[in-house]
Amino acid sequence: MLRAAASLVSVGALVAALAGCAGPGDPRPPVQAQVPDPTAAAAPPAATPTVALPTLCGSPEPAPRDPFPYNRDAGRRDSMLHISGSAAYTGGIAYFEDLDVTGLAALFEARFVDPFDQQNAAPTAWQILQFLCDHPQVRTAGYAVSGDRDDYRTSLETVYAVAIDANLRAAAETFCVDADAVETGDHLECYWD
C-alpha cells in the first residue's frame, strides 16, 4: 500500500515537473499539476440540515379560554409579524405572510394567537400550527387586527409551500378539504376566506 502511494507521488511529481516545461517560444506560463494526496481521508458526506421544532409541536392541545387573554402589546406582535407601523393597517387590518412554525409557536407562547381562533371554515390556529410542525417547509399567512379595535386578534387564513412532494400533497388533500381555494400543482396553497 505504501509502495503504491509512493509510486503515485513519484508519478505526480514527474507530471508536475513536465507540466512546468515550456518549449522554446511557448508563451504559456508553467502549469501546476494537481495531484490528489492518496493518504488524505475522504471528506464525509454533507449532513442534511434538520429543523429544530418548537416545544409546542409535541404539546397537547390547550384548553379553550373564553374570553382568550390576548397579549395587548400590539407593537411587539407587529414586530414579530414584520408589520411596519400603523401605515400597514387599512381599516384596522394588516396582512402578514411567510410565518414559519417557529414564528407561529412564538406568537402562541406570547398569547398573540388564540389556539381556537378560526377563520370561517379554516382549521383552528392550533391545527394549523400542528400542520406546520408536521411539514416545517410550509408557511402560513393571515391578518392582524389593530390594538385599538375591540376584536383585536391575529388570524390565520392561508397555508402554503413553494414546493410540494407526494407526502405534503397527500396531507394537504386532507387538511385543506374545506378550503375556498386549493393549489397543489408544483406548489401548495390553501386559502380560507
Of residues 59, 63, 79, the one with CA closest to residue 71: 79
Residue located via cell numbers 397543489: 184
Cβ atoms of 175 and 140 closer than 8 Å: no
| pLDDT (mean) for 53-67 | 96
Q: For 132, phi and psi rounded to 5 degrees?
A: -65, -35
Domain that holds residue 2: 1-40
All cell numbers assigned to 31 = 502549469
For residue 182, is it within any domain? yes
pLDDT tens-digit profile of 32-52?
Answer: 444 545 555 554 444 444 679
For residue 23, is it within any domain? yes
Q: State how many domains the chain has.
A: 2
pLDDT tens-digit profile of 77-100?
Answer: 999 999 998 899 999 999 999 999
User: Letter for the amino acid at 26?
Assistant: D
* DSSP per-residue string spanning 14-82: HHHHHHT---TT--SPPPPP----TTSPPPPPPPPP-----GGGGSPPPPP-SS------HHHHHHHTT
Q: Are residues 170 and 83 in the same domain?
A: yes
Q: Are residues 6 and 80 in the same domain?
A: no
Q: Are residues 12 and 89 in the same domain?
A: no
Q: Are residues 71 and 160 in the same domain?
A: yes
Q: What band does 18 get if pLDDT is binned at 50, 70 and 90?
A: very low
Q: Are residues 71 and 9 in the same domain?
A: no
